[in-house]
Amino acid sequence: MPKKITIVSAVSLVLLVGVIMLAVKLSEKTAPANAPKKVSIYDKEESVIYTPDYEDLLCGCVEGMLIKGVEFEPEALKAIAIAENARINYFLEIKDGFDGLGADLTVCEEIPYTPAKPNTAVRTAVSDALKLSLVYNDEPFDAPICKISAGRTDELLPYSPSVGLPCDIDAPYFLSSTEISAEEVSAALGGNNLPWDGTEWFKDPVYNDNGTLMFIKFNGERVSGENLRKALNLRSTAISAEYTEGKFVFKCQGWGENCGMSIYAANYLAQKGKTAEEILDIFYPNAKLKSAG
């Protein structure tokens, strides 16, 4: 083979290798260094395991977190994506993703993945979010997030302080009312030998200054507000209960566990000109943002 052709071929080979290496490097930017490129996630309602790319997983979780009918600002979407990314990485790192059928993660309130195709705004926010990592002591952490606070979030040290959010009181879905039969309440809470009078089932509620139900006695046994919310699938932990004619009416304020970042408030702050970084600093002042490795 002529020498000239050999030199050209060698140069072409070097260029090809360089292009391949660049493509690999760019593809690696779709997931943080400590996360797999693909993640399996179990949807127990559909009885199916999805295996999306990491970026698609985060897009699906951001989509699942949003409030129907609310148009989210780009900076709010970015803040939500950054916080949710920290949470997902935390569960992947500690190998505790609510395991289902061998999957890495399970669809739940903390990881609200939806396989629906995300809109362009969410995709852009996630792409920007993956360039940053929200960490506490240089490690991913379970960044608390709620959809709507009860007007003031509960303190969750060391990550999140209590933050007053009067904007949330005017949010759609701030108030909710759920009617549940006495039989369903008994089945969910495991009540035995319950009084015939339902007004005697729940007694002595204890609330904090933010309106969150800390504890309530159910048939004499103390139940936390968070456990009551999860057992009865209620909107929030700011709960009141009323009984009439064989059924209970549970009224809630807010949406979620009332700590960390309220995504409705994050959107309100973005509308007022706050950047994603400034929003995150309000809700997670002890955490740090750094460039993704």
Tell me if residue 191 falls in helix, strand or coil: coil
At position 91, the amino acid (one-letter code) is F
Tell me if residue 79 falls in helix, strand or coil: helix
Phi, psi of 86 (to 5 degrees): -60, -40
Q: What is the pLDDT of residue 10?
A: 41
Q: How far apart are CA 149 and CA 269, in angstroms?
A: 14
Q: How far apart are CA 118 and CA 61, in angstroms?
A: 10
HEC assignment per residue over 238-263: EEEEEEECCEEEEEEECEECCECEEH
Q: How far apart are CA 250 and CA 242, in angstroms?
A: 7
Tell me if residue 292 falls in helix, strand or coil: coil
How many Cβ atoms from other residues are within 10 Å of residue 166's Cβ? Answer: 11
Q: How far apart are CA 91 and CA 215, in angstroms?
A: 28
Phi and psi based region of residue 80 (left: phi greater than 0; alpha: psi -120 to 50; beta: remaining): alpha
CB 175, CB 252: distance < 8 Å: yes
Q: Which are the contacts of 205, defined by CB distance < 8 A and separation ≥ 6?
A: 213, 215, 216, 240, 241
Q: How far apart are CA 61 and CA 52, in angstroms?
A: 11
CB 212, CB 153: distance < 8 Å: no
Q: What is the pLDDT of residue 36?
A: 65
pLDDT in tens, the chain (293 residues): 444 434 334 434 333 334 334 343 434 444 454 556 789 999 999 999 999 999 999 999 999 999 999 999 999 999 999 999 999 999 998 877 666 778 999 999 999 999 988 899 999 999 999 999 999 999 999 999 999 999 999 999 899 999 999 999 999 999 999 999 999 999 999 878 899 899 999 999 999 999 999 999 999 999 999 999 999 999 999 999 999 988 999 999 999 989 999 999 999 999 999 999 999 999 999 999 999 86
Q: How far apart are CA 182 and CA 185, in angstroms?
A: 5
Q: How far apart are CA 24 and CA 173, in angstroms?
A: 44
Q: How far apart are CA 284 and CA 135, in angstroms?
A: 10
Determine the Cα angle at 117 with ends 283 and 98, to 5°. Answer: 55
